[in-house]
Amino acid sequence: MEKTRKLGQTDMTITAIGYGCMGQTHSYGVVEAEKDMISLMRYAHEVGYTFFDTAPIYGEANERYLGKAVAPFRKEVVIATKFGIVDESFFTGNEDALNSSRDSIRQQVDASLKRLGTDYIDLYYQHRIDPKTEPEEVAQTMAELIKAGKIRAWGVSFAPEEYIRRAHSVCKISAIENMYSFVARQDEGTYFPLCEELGITYVSACPLAKGYLSNRYAAGTKYREGDWRADMNLFQKEGIDHNRALMDLITEFAERKQATPAQIALAWEITKKPYLVPIPGTTKRDRVKENFEAVTVELTESEMSEIEEALSHMDIVGMSRG
């Protein structure tokens, strides 16, 4: 299997599996220590990852940790960060926390560059669309930032199809970042064809469904305060019982391929489409390696069809929150 991917229509190449930084400081009820995360991400680079995903809204430390970690080999990696969510209150429904006006983006990009300790961002995503700003205006701002050398390429996350088409016609979009996994397949018939048509890379967020697909989280697992999984149906007894057939399928394939369930979940994605790039996150050294080594798991065409056929008969409790 091809172990690297071209990033949209740019001249950048990234590994087929990237590393998601969010969980170091967000969504799991913990802010990990800086020195541990720097060491972890340097290890990730040693293992082979060249694509790292962060965002300011994951906490001020998130971009800072990444910037420090990759400083010694900055040119060898592709850093993706984001703009558009300017306040934590977004997560509790405040739409005023969205801002993609030209003036705001100019401030946001400078703040990210400073925290990252770099003078350019390789891939700059609009994290969520701002209902107050037209896609053409955002794309125009991106074109200006590219021209100024502050960013090399741009993308969108959870944007509607029409929005993507309008923005792309002004300044080419290189990547979209949406949620995709065995329990979140809603984009297969919509965003996948769009990526094919426009030459866009599909970066899949939460590819392990927040760890669920590793089969290492049983019903009754206690989560820290602030860990979103405590409120997700998927991680409750009903969700786990309901998806038993799916987990049986994944674990059966794991045994057959001498791999782990997490590796099957990732290998299935990168085998499925040549433009898919999952970005699992982990704070554990052994899992950094385990996840990356999913690129060595070969799933044949007939095994992919077998999985597709089995999935088509399953009613799956999905994932609605990333």
Ligand X SMILES: NC(=O)c1ccc[n+]([C@@H]2O[C@H](COP(=O)([O-])OP(=O)(O)OC[C@H]3O[C@@H](n4cnc5c(N)ncnc54)[C@H](OP(=O)(O)O)[C@@H]3O)[C@@H](O)[C@H]2O)c1
- Note whether 22 binds ligand X by CB under 6 A: yes
The whole-angstrom separation of Cα 251 and Cα 241 is 15
- Note whether 23 binds ligand X by CB under 6 A: yes
Q: Which two tokens stand for residue 261?
A: 């369930």
- Note whether 156 binds ligand X by CB under 6 A: no
Residues 6+ apart with CB under 8 A from 240: 218, 219, 234, 247
Read off φ and ψ for residue 53, nearest 5 degrees: -120, 125
Structure letter (DSSP) for residue 320: -
Q: Which of 63, 122, 130, 177 binds ligand X (CB under 6 A)?
A: 177
Q: Which of 98, 151, 200, 205 binds ligand X (CB under 6 A)?
A: 205
Q: Which of 207, 232, 240, 307 binds ligand X (CB under 6 A)?
A: 207
- Note whether 56 binds ligand X by CB under 6 A: no
In DSSP terms, 19 is beta-bridged to: 52
Q: Which two tokens stand for residue 70?
A: 């990759």
- Note whether 153 binds ligand X by CB under 6 A: no
Largest CA distance in the chain: 54
Torsion, Cα of 27, 218, 290, 3 (10° steps): -70
Q: Which two tokens stand for residue 198?
A: 């426009």
Nearest to 278 by CA among 260, 298, 258, 263: 263
SS3 241: helix
The b-or-e profile of 141-162 (16+ CB within 10 A means b, else e) is bbeebbeeebbbbbbbbbbeee
- Note whether 16 binds ligand X by CB under 6 A: no
- Note whether 214 binds ligand X by CB under 6 A: yes
Catalytic residue, candidates 19, 28, 49, 58:
58
- Note whether 28 binds ligand X by CB under 6 A: yes
The stretch among 20-28, 63-71, 269-277, 299-307 that binds ligand X (CB under 6 A) is: 20-28
Size of the site for ligand X (CB under 6 A): 29
Residue nearest to ligand X (CB): 20
Nearer to ligand X, 22 or 109 (CB): 22
Nearer to ligand X, 53 or 63 (CB): 53
Q: Which of 291, 297, 299, 317 binds ligand X (CB under 6 A)?
A: 291
Measured at the CA of 167, the angle between CA 81 and CA 162, to 5 degrees, comes to 110
Q: Which of 145, 209, 232, 297 binds ligand X (CB under 6 A)?
A: 209
58 tagged catalytic: yes
Nearer to ligand X, 192 or 228 (CB): 228
The whole-angstrom separation of Cα 78 and Cα 13 is 8
Query: Smallest gap, in angstroms, from Cβ of residue 21 to ligand X?
Result: 5
The stretch among 95-103, 183-191, 238-246, 274-282 that binds ligand X (CB under 6 A) is: 274-282
Nearest to 167 by CA among 135, 134, 128, 192: 135
The stretch among 41-49, 71-79, 113-121, 282-290 that binds ligand X (CB under 6 A) is: 282-290
Footprint of ligand X (CB under 6 A): 20-23, 27-28, 53, 157, 177, 205-211, 214, 216, 262, 279-284, 287, 290-291, 322
